[in-house]
Amino acid sequence: MKWIIRAIGILLLILVVAVGSLFLLPADRIARIAADQLRNLTGREVTITGDVGLTFWPVLGVTAGGLEVGNADWAKDGAMLSAANAAIGVDAMALIRGEIKITNIEAQSPTIRLEQRRDGRASWQFSDGGGEAAIETAPTAPARSPRPLTIQRLNITDATLIYDAEGSDLVRFDGVDLSLDWPERAGDAVIKAALRPAADRVSIEATINRFDQFLNGDIRPLRARVDTKGGGVSLTGRAGLAGAVAGDLWLKTSDTGRFLAALGVADIALPQGLGKTADINLDLTLTPDRHLALREVVADLGGNALTGAADITLNGTPDVNA
């Protein structure tokens, strides 16, 4: 019994020392290593600026006066993400082992710039980075084999989203909320977004299978849905970061004019029987160079039926062959 009590006492002492050591870690050093982790993950320059503080509740991590993630070297305008206030959460047990494992990132009122070129290049395609930062305890610390990083949760609120596709008009949304839940590296990720291109709120939710492979450029299965007060659209199929999408699309509206207005296309008034309400199913294929193919279109336009197919080029003025 004495040995059991001693063993419990030793374990408690180890736990107290380990937890107490967290309070002694300098916040700026954790922030610096966390920035290195993000740099390894994205292949982009990551800068943490301003006052840096250490938080213990509800998430162990650091807060920073500014966070900036660089854009692709060919991009023409500024950083891909810049935020005046940011928080980075870390895994406490990994930290005790001398490692930094990022569990979540939060950013308030950031500016996100996304650019795409006709040749398929996209600023959100990251290089094949990956690494595992460690808190060095001695100059001769053993080398560690690279291991990709998982960010289990990303939460962005009140963002300004700018999308610049070569050959198309600049798109800008304000007040965008975005979240990513990715608890297991080899698992699925759930992405949610809310924005207002016009007066009504537009909600977007997507589930992507094996999100780690998706980030590496693979085509992965996904389910996505867009909802507005006038109707919604869902897609079940496959997609890749380069902009390739294929699958079954279902569009159903109770008020097509309001649905389009919520997406920023105003002043569309369709008569009953010709699209005022709609129930449309089709097979969709979109290539990275923005060629859209619609097949097996079956549309109920509120009493009248329409079937057909179409090929649409979306670079500049749309070219439709239907």
Per residue in 70-125, pLDDT (tens digit) is 988 888 878 999 998 888 887 767 666 666 677 888 999 999 999 888 777 888 87
- Alpha carbon of 19 to those of 11, 22, 88, 94, 101: distances in Å? 12, 5, 19, 12, 16
Tell me whether residue 95 is in a domain. yes
Q: Which residues of 12-33 are buried (b: 16+ CB within 10 A; e: fewer)?
A: eeeeeeeeeeeeebebeebbeb
Taking only the tens place, the pLDDT of each residue in 148-197 is 556 789 999 999 999 888 877 888 889 999 999 998 888 999 999 999 88
22 and 168 both lie in a single domain: yes
pTM, whole model, 2 decimals? 0.77
Q: Distance between CA 238 and CA 248 in Å, rounded?
A: 10
11 and 90 both lie in a single domain: yes
Tell me whether residue 201 is in a domain. no
The total number of structural domains in the chain stands at: 2
Tell me whether residue 190 is in a domain. no
168 and 221 both lie in a single domain: no
Give the residue numbers spanning the domain of 244.
213-322
Dmax (CA) of the chain:
86
